[in-house]
Amino acid sequence: MKIIIRPENESDFDSIDVLLKEAFKNDPYSDQKEGELVKAIRETKDYIPELSLVLSQDLQVVGYIMFSKTSIPPAFPNTNCVALAPVAVLPEFQNKGFGGQLIKQGHHIALNLGYQLSVVLGHENYYPKFGFKLCSDFGIKLPFDAPKENCMVKSLNYELDNILDSQVNYASPFYY
């Protein structure tokens, strides 16, 4: 069993689309538009090709993660933060640690590219395993109405110990 994590390329796009549909089809919190979101982000200046990763096992794409540029003004007015969305693994490959491998590798790459923070709107029992903490603990708000336990931030190389009193500005496709 050979596992490879690498940046996506155009030949992966169809497989990624199928993977996203399968991974989220039974998720009660999904709007079933993850594939549309990914396609739209790829068309913006906030797309980071090095941070749109596929995980393949024996040459089959079974996992995917995308990070896009975001900012958190006024604390971080420039684009030195990333938003993690989505992360997906084919149902038959879930619970094998592949999502975690994608998150860890993505954060490693993001740090090397100079990003300081990662934000996610996600499952409150999953993301804290990877160092995510509640945005509300640091005065960071998301521009969406979402339960505070699902709004999280992770420091990549910034000391999160003060109240930032800021709001996340996502890539434009997150708003439609």
What is the CATH classification number for the domain harbouring 9? 3.40.630.30
Share of the chain above pLDDT 90, in %: 80
Can you tell me the mean pLDDT for 143-158? 92
Q: Which two tokens stand for residue 61?
A: 């794409």
* Count: domains in the chain: 1
pLDDT score at 79: 66
**Cα–Cα distance measured from residue 92 to residue 14, given in angstroms and rounded to the nearest whole number:** 18
Q: Which two tokens stand for residue 151?
A: 């709004």
Phi, psi values for residue 114, rounded to 5°: 100, 10
User: What are the beta bridge partners of residue 52?
Assistant: 66
pLDDT digits (tens, 9 = 90+) for 16-43: 999 999 999 988 888 889 999 999 999 9
**Cα–Cα distance measured from residue 98 to residue 12, given in angstroms and rounded to the nearest whole number:** 17
Residue 163 has pLDDT above 80, yes or no: no
pLDDT score at 39: 97
> Looking up tokens 């039974």, which residue turns up?
26
User: What are the beta bridge partners of residue 71?
Assistant: 169
Range of the domain at 158: 3-175
Q: How many helices (H) and strands (E) does the chain have?
A: 3, 9
Residue 56 has pLDDT above 70, yes or no: yes
Q: Which of 108, 107, 106, 132 is nearest to 120 (CA)?
A: 132
Burial class (CB within 10 angstroms; exposed 0-12, middle 13-18, buried 19+) of 74 = exposed
Residues 6+ apart with CB under 8 A from 18: none
Share of the chain above pLDDT 70, in %: 98
